[in-house]
Structure 1
Amino acid sequence: MSHPLLFLCQISAILLRYPDELIKQESSELGTLVSSSDLTVEEKKAFEDICDFLRVTPLLDAQSQYVQLFDMSPSLSLYLFQHVHGDSRMRGQAMVDLLEDYRAAGLDMKGNELPDFLPAYLEYASLCEPEKTRDLLAEIVDILAVLRDRLQARQSVYSGLFRVLQNASGRVPDKEIVHAHLRDTAMMDDPATLDARYEEKPVTFENASPPTGCQTMRHANSDNSHVGSRK
């Protein structure tokens, strides 16, 4: 069996993905694998609780709970840079840099998943040397702490997993950063805030004075040119 830290990241990457039929079918086997591993008692319990949840919960219910948590609640987004850069251009550059790290390690993203998706990041971490893996967890420990507290407040079975990842990083989260993020929880998940955030706005140009006869064209351009992407 691999190094406990690498195994911890590998299991976390699996259990944090959208629960499908295959994961549900293998939840008992995953639980057995965890129980026979070299993880600590606390670490084993965190993973076994999720495996038990997936095993006894109807698949549609498990999927619904996952979506409500991680897809419908921006404060619980599993996209790391969303918590750091929001929708700014800096997020795009950060993802490009992270993707280069993946490729340098011989990994290549497939499908439509973004490189800052936490399960993908953990899968990458599970393939590194343990020292590098710990450094990768330490880099995101503040985000892990924020997600742990938010999930704990919702009494989610996933909260223990984030506590385990946080502890495995070997770094203490920055309390000021964590508290600042936690203060924004309600606002981030407020429906009105989400509507305003994703509202499509027309592209406008300052100090633009089109020649006479072009008023209709300017009106059409402002009506039809929009920026409306969630990512």
Structure 2
Amino acid sequence: MSEHDLRTTHMVASVLLGYPDERLHGGLDVLRAAVDGLPQGEPRRRLSAFLTHAAATGPAELAAHYVATFDLQRRCCPYLTYYAYGDTRKRGAALLRFKHALRAAGFELADGELPDHLAVVCELSARGAPGPALRLMSEHRAGLEVLRAALEEERSPYADVVAAVLDTLPPPTGRQREAAARLLAEGPPAEAVGLEPYAMDGVSR
């Protein structure tokens, strides 16, 4: 996949993984044109499938599904560091790595927005920093695999979007497969302290 196609894929995924407001519904034709310009393959097929679903679903229904899926179910958490560190003190340092990568690319987050949301990392790639974005996603591939599996189990159309992002990464290593299997079996670590500067209450894209 060329860098242009990679950035286009991540741009579309970034919009689709954000809260489905007027930006999504008003831009469906533009997003469809962008996806139709991608080469034949899984990312194009999967993004196209979601766009077809979004076009056929009322805005209120899609928004309700988004909230029920990403905001109310921990197993479908869109924040990548959650899978590796849970709500532990170590997660704070991991979040700083994402924040530094965004700042290095000249990307400033809105107040209260966490830097490890998958939509944010995809936007980082789309804005011209695919290298750092791919590294961050590859480092947290196990979490992405768990997110995809959870969405598939829920039969959520968002599984196609996450799968499209995964399809832009290099094939998983044996170690990454083992880490994903361990996360599926055990879940993330638990320790609900040390995240005061990164409180998740009320945060959504």
Please indicate, yes or no, whether the TM-score normalized by the shorter chain is above 0.5: yes
TM-score, normalising length: structure 1:
0.74
Q: Which has the higher contact order (CA 8 A, sep 6+)?
A: 2
Say whether the 8 Å CA contact 1:138–1:171 is kept in structure 2: no
Q: Give the aligned CA root-mean-square deviation in angstroms.
A: 2.6
Partner of 1:26: 27
* Contact 2:81 2:140 (8 Å CA) reproduced: no
> Aligned pair 1:175/2:177, yes or no?
yes
5 Å matches for 1:1-231? 3-35=4-36, 37-128=37-128, 130-172=130-172, 174-184=176-186
Distance 1:136-1:88 versus aligned 2 partners, 3 A rule:
closer
Question: Per the alignment, do residues 22 and 79 of structure 1 end up closer, same or farther by CA in structure 2, a change over 3 Å counting?
Answer: same
CA displacement, residues 59-114 of structure 1 (integer Å, 9 cap, x when unaligned)? 11101111111110101101111111111111112212321221111111113211
Deviates more, 1:60-69 or 1:90-99: 90-99
Question: For 2:167, what is the secondary structure of its paired residue?
Answer: helix
Secondary structure (helix, strand or coil) at the match of 1:3 reads helix
Aligned match of 1:211: none
Query: Shift in Å at residue 171 of structure 1?
Result: 3.0
CA distance in 1, matches of 2:158, 2:108: 27
- Whichever residue aligns with residue 14 of structure 1, its letter is V
Gaps of 5+ in 2: 193-198
Counterpart secondary structure, 1:47 = helix
1:9: Cα distance to partner?
1.1
Q: Residue 130 of structure 1: CA displacement? A: 4.7
The 3 A distance-change label for structure 1 pair 104 and 113 is: same
Query: Which amino acid is the alignment partner of residue 14 of structure 2?
Result: A
C-alpha distance in structure 2 between counterparts of 1:148 and 1:100, whole Å: 26
The question of whether the paired residues in 1 share the 8 Å contact of 2:13 and 2:122 is answered with yes
In 1, Cα distance between equivalents of 2:186 and 2:20 = 28
Aligned-partner SS, 1:175: helix
What is the CA–CA distance in structure 1 between the aligned matches of 2:97 and 2:42, rounded to whole Å?
Answer: 34
Query: Mind listing any 5+ residue stretches in structure 1 that lack a counterpart?
Result: 189-196, 199-228
Say which one has the larger Rg. Answer: 1
Q: Deviations over 1:97-149 (max 9, x none)?
A: 32122111111111321111111111112234555544333222222211111
CA–CA distance in structure 1, aligned partners of residues 130 and 112 of structure 2: 28
Distance 1:40-1:139 versus aligned 2 partners, 3 A rule: farther
1:9 counterpart letter in structure 2: H
Kept in 2, the 8 Å contact 1:25–1:55? The answer is no
Counterpart amino acid of residue 40 in structure 1: Q
- Aligned residue-pair number: 192
In structure 1, distance between residues paired with 2:68 and 2:171: 30
Instruction: Indicate conservation of the 8 Å contact 1:125/1:136, yes or no.
Output: no
Distance 1:22 1:150 in 2: 26
